[in-house]
Amino acid sequence: MTDRKQRLLPAVQKPARYTGGEWGEVQKNKDEIHIRVAFCFPDTYEIGMSNLGMRILYGVMNNQPDVWCERVFAPWGDMEAALRREALPLWALESQDPVKDFDMIAFTIGYEMAYSNVLNMLDLAGVPLHASERTGLKNIVFAGGVCTFNPEPLADFVDFFSLGEGEESTVEILDVYRRAKAEDWTKEWFLREVAKVPGVYVPSLYTPVYEPDGRLKEIIRVEGAPEIVTKRIVENLDEAYFPTKMLVPSTEIVHDRANLELFRGCIRGCRFCQAGFSCRPVRRKSPEVLYRQATELLEHSGNNEITLSSLSTSDYKDLRELTDALIPYCEAHKFSMSVPSLRADNFSRELMERVQAVRKSGLTFAPEAGTQRLRDVINKNLQEEEILSTCAIAFAGGWSHVKLYFMLGLPTETDEDVLGIAELVYKIIQLWKENGVNRKRGLSIRLATAYFVPKPHTPFQWEQQITPQEYLRRCKLLKEHLYSKCVEYDYHSPDLSRLEAVFARGDRRLGPVIEEAVRSGARLDGWDEYFRYDLWQEAFAKCGVDPNFYTVRGYGEEELLPWDMMDVGVSKAFLLRERRRAYESRVTPDCRHGCAGCGANCLLKEAGCDD
Amino acid sequence: MTRLLFEKTGKAVWISHLDLMRLFQRAFQRAGLPLTHTHGFNPRPSVSIALPMSVGVESGCELLDFALDGAAVPCEEIRDRLNAALVSGVRILRVYEDGQKLKNLAWLDCCLTLEYDHGVPPEAAGRLRALFSRPSLPVQKKSKNGVTEQDIIPLLKRVELEQAEENTLTLLARVRCQNPALNPMQLLAAVDRYQPELSPDFCRCRRVEVYDENGNVFR
Ligand code: SF4
Ligand code: SF4
C-alpha cells in the first residue's frame, strides 16, 4: 500500500519538490550518524535550491562523517493544506523523516519577509515555536543569513544565531553539539558553550530594557556572554570549501544552472545597500581556481549554463583573464555563460557582446536615483553619461530591451529627483530614435521603483522611511510624467516594503506580532498570491505594537540600536561619517580608489582588503 | 537516431515529462556522451520521449530517442555510462541502434493498482469486469478546450482484473496510446463515475509494455 505522504503527491503542484532523490543528494546510513541536521530554507524549493549559501553549508555539514544534513523547504499552499488536513508533520527530503526527529534545525534567512515561513515551518514540523518551550538538546534551532545581522525579531524562537559566513563556524558549532550530546549536557549548558564560538549570538543570554517612550534603554547580559558578537568571514576563498559536485534538481528551479561565486564583498559603498557594508571586506578567488571550479561544476552537474555571480561582477579584478579562458571552453562545449550585475563600463560592454546569455536578457541598469545629486547622496557611482553611451552602443548593436531600477523615498529626495527619472527615460527614448536599428520590434523600457527600506549596518540605518501615502504620491507623480507607450512602469504596493522596514530594524517586541500573524495564517509573504497585509495589520493591533515606531519615526544617532551588539566589521563611527557625507552630497571613493577606513580590514588576519 | 528503453520507478515517478527531458540531457552530458543539438537561435540537445507520461505514473517501458555527436559508442556502453549518471528510479534497460517508426506505436499495457484501505469491496472484480464490458463508457476528459466527453470503450482492447491482496485489486488493461490516446487514469474516472462505491482510496498506475497495431512488442 502507498504510504500517506505519497498519496498527497498526485494532488499537489510540482510534487518532485517534496520527494528528494536528485542527482548529488547526500544519503547516509542513519546508524553511523551522531548529529542529524534539518537544514530549512524558509521559502519554496525553487527559491531555496537556487541559493548558493545553502548549497555550500549543506556540503560543509555533510563533509563531517557523523553528521547528516538534509534539506527542508517551505511547502506551497496546496501541500501545506494537505499536510494540515492529514495531520502529517513536515519532513526532510533525503530521509523523508519528520523534522521533529532531528537533533538540530537550521535556517538560512536572507529576507525579512521570510520570518513568517520560519515560524510556519516549525509549526508544520510540530516543533514548539518558542525556544523556551524546547527544553532538551533535541530540536536546537539556529539560524544564519544576512537577516541575522539584526536577529532580534526572531529572538524568541531561535536558540542561537550564527553571524556571517558559515564555512568554518558551522563546523565549530557542530563540534560543541557533538560534545553536548556525548556528555548529555543540558540545553542551557550547551547554549553557554556555543556562545563561546566566535560569531555565535545566543539571544536568551541577553535581556533588553526599554524606555517609557519605547526606545531601547539597555541590554542586560548574563555574565560571561560576549558584549559584542562579530560576524565570521572566510579569509582565503581559494582554500575554502566549494561544492563543485553540485546537487542537480530534477525539477526546474529559479536559477537552474551552475553558479560560481567570483568574490565576496563589494568595493562600492552605496549607502542604502546592506550587502555592500555587511559583506565587507572584498575577498576574491583566483582565476585559476575559478576556472577549475567552473569546469568541474559543469562536468559533474551536466548543466549547460553557468552564471558568474557576485555583488558586482564587473569589479572582479581578473574578469578579463577569467572570461578569456572560460568563453572558449564554453563555446567548445556549447555551454552558455551569463554574467549578471555588470556595470556600464567599457570592458563590460565588450563582454556583453561576447556573452550570448547576456544578450538575451537585455540591458539592466540600477541607477537607483533620478538625478546626479541624489546619486551622489546615496554614493551610487553611476553617471548618466555611462548609461546613455552604453544604451547608444547597445541600440546600434540591435538590442531593444532596457530595464531600469530605481528607489523612491531615499533620504533628501525631492520631486525634482523623482522627475529626474522621467527625464532619463526620455533621453533613452531619444537615443533609440537616433541609434536603434531594430525599428520593427520597437523599444521596450521596463521601469521599476522600489519603496526605500532603511537597513541596519548602513549609513542610512537611522533614516526615516517615508509614509506609504507619500511613496504612492511620488509613484503617481512619476507615472504622470512618463508619456511614451514603450515604457512599462510598475510600482509595487508599499505594504510589503513597509513590513520589511519594520522587521529589518525591529526588536524583540515584534516576536509576538510574527507569532500572531502566523497563527492567523500569514506565510509565503514574498508571494503575491499568499501575502495578506490585513493579517499583519491585525497582528500589530492585537499586540499593541505600532509599526510607525520602526519606520517613519527614524532612529536617533544617540539611541541604542537593537543591532548594536552585532558587529559586521564596519564601525558605527564610519557609518555616521558616511551619513554626514550623504547630506553634503559628497561621494566616497570605492575601496580600490582609496580606503575610507570603514574598519572591515580588522576582520582579516593575513591579507589586506581586496588584495 | 538511437533509441533506448528505460524504466521510471520510485521517487522518479514524480518527475514531469519536461523535467525528465532536461534530466536526460544532463545525464548524457555527465556520462560524457555529447548529444547533437537542434538548430536555431537557442540550440537544445536533441532527445525525445515517445509517449509523454503524467506525473505519478510508473513505467517499465519508456522509449527515448537521441542522437550522439561524434564517434559511435557501443550500445551496452551507452547504457552503463548513462546508468552511472542517472538518478535512482530512472534506469536504462537497453539501448537499440535503431527503432521502428514511432507512428507505428499503437497500444500500451498498463496496470492500475486500486488500493482499498478497508479491504476490497465484495464482488469488486466481477462488477468492474462488467463495467468495462459495456458497449460504451463515456467519461469526462479535460483538455485545453475545456471538458469534453470521451467514450473509452473503443480505445480499450482488453481488461483483466485480479485481486492480488486483501486490500488491493489490480486492473490490467491494453489501451490505445496514439491517435487518439487514452490516459489509463480514465479507467479510474469511469469507476468513480459509474461505480462510485468501488472507488479506491488510492490508485497507482504503471505502464507495462508497448505494442504496434498487430500486438507485437514495439521497439
Ligand atoms: S555596487 Fe552598490 S548596490 Fe551593488 S552590491 Fe555594491 S554597494 Fe551594493
Ligand atoms: S577597510 Fe578600507 S578598503 Fe577595507 S573595506 Fe573598509 S573602506 Fe574598504
CA-to-CA distance for B126 and B169, rounded, in angstroms? 11
- B129 C-beta neighbours (distance < 10 Å), count: 14
Is any atom of ligand 2 closer than 6 Å to the C-beta of A119? no
Q: Which residues of chain A have a Cβ shorter than 8 Å from any chain B Cβ?
A: 1-2, 7, 9-10, 14-16, 18-23, 248, 250-252, 299-304, 333-334
Nearest to B14 among A16, A300, A303 (CB): A16
Could you give all domains of chain B from N- to C-terminal order, each with its CATH number?
Answer: 2-99 (3.30.70.580), 104-212 (3.30.70.100)
Cell of A38: 534539518
The whole-number pLDDT of residue A435 equals 82
Is A338's pLDDT higher than 70?
yes
Compute the average pLDDT of residues A248-266. Answer: 94
DSSP B17-64: HHHHHHHHHHHHHHTT-PBPB--SSS--B-EEESS---TT-EEEEEEE
Is any atom of ligand 1 closer than 6 Å to the C-beta of A270? yes
Cell of A33: 550518524
Return the residue matching grid coordinates 529589518. A504
pTM of the model: 0.95
Ligand with smallest separation from the Cα of A274: 1
Compute the average pLDDT of residues A516-532. Answer: 97
Determine the residue of chain A that is closest to B201 in CA distance.
Answer: A7
CA-to-CA distance for A536 and A546, rounded, in angstroms? 11
Chain B interface, best mutation among A46, A78, A96, A334, by max B CB count within 10 A: A334
**A123 near A518, Cβ under 8 Å?**
yes
Q: Helix or strand or coil: residue A376? A: helix
The whole-number pLDDT of residue A395 equals 82
Average pLDDT over chain A reads 94
Specify the CATH superfamily of domain A4-230.
Response regulator (3.40.50.2300)
A10 closest CA partner among B184, B188, B56, B10: B56
DSSP H or E run through B170: strand B168-176
Is A490's pLDDT higher than 60?
yes
Compute the average pLDDT of residues A133-160. Answer: 97
**Which stretches of A111-263 are DSSP H helices?**
115-125, 166-182, 187-194
Nearest to B30 among A2, A252, A302 (CB): A302
**Which stretches of A283-371 are DSSP H helices?**
287-301, 319-333, 346-354, 356-361
Give A30 to chain B, closest Cα distance, Å: 19
Is A340's pLDDT higher than 80?
no
The whole-number pLDDT of residue B144 equals 83
CA-to-CA distance for A128 and B58, rounded, in angstroms? 38
Strand-by-strand arrangement of the A363-368 sheet: A363-368, A401-408, A444-451, A487-491
Give A156 to chain B, closest Cα distance, Å: 37
* Average confidence (pLDDT) per 10 residues, chain B, 219 residues: 95 96 95 87 82 94 94 95 98 95 96 96 95 96 88 95 92 95 95 96 97 96
DSSP H or E run through A54: helix A52-62
Is any atom of ligand 2 closer than 6 Å to the C-beta of A281? yes
- A309 C-beta neighbours (distance < 10 Å), count: 17
Ligand with smallest separation from the Cα of A598: 2
Q: Which tens digit of pLDDT belongs to each residue from A75-123?
A: 999 999 999 999 999 999 999 999 999 999 999 999 999 999 999 999 9
Nearest to A16 among B19, B37, B115 (CB): B19
Is any atom of ligand 1 closer than 6 Å to the C-beta of A279? no
Q: What is the residue extent of each domain of chain A?
A: 4-230
The whole-number pLDDT of residue B41 equals 67
Compute the average pLDDT of residues A64-72. Answer: 98
Q: How far does CA B79 lie from the centroid of its chain?
A: 20
CA-to-CA distance for A91 and A45, rounded, in angstroms? 13
Interface residue B12 vs chain A (CB under 8 A)? yes
Q: Helix or strand or coil: residue B150? A: strand
Is A17's pLDDT higher than 90?
yes
Burial of A532 per CB tally in 10 Å (0-12, 13-18, 19+): middle
Residue whose CA is closest, atom 7 of ligand 1? A276
**How far apart, in Å, are the Cα atoms of A397 and each of A204, A390, A392, B42?**
59, 11, 9, 19
Q: Which tens digit of pLDDT belongs to each residue from A285-314?
A: 999 999 999 999 999 999 999 999 999 888
Is A557's pLDDT higher than 90?
yes
Provide CB contacts within 8 A for A556, sequence distance 6+: A215, A462
The whole-number pLDDT of residue A394 equals 78
Cell of A335: 555551454
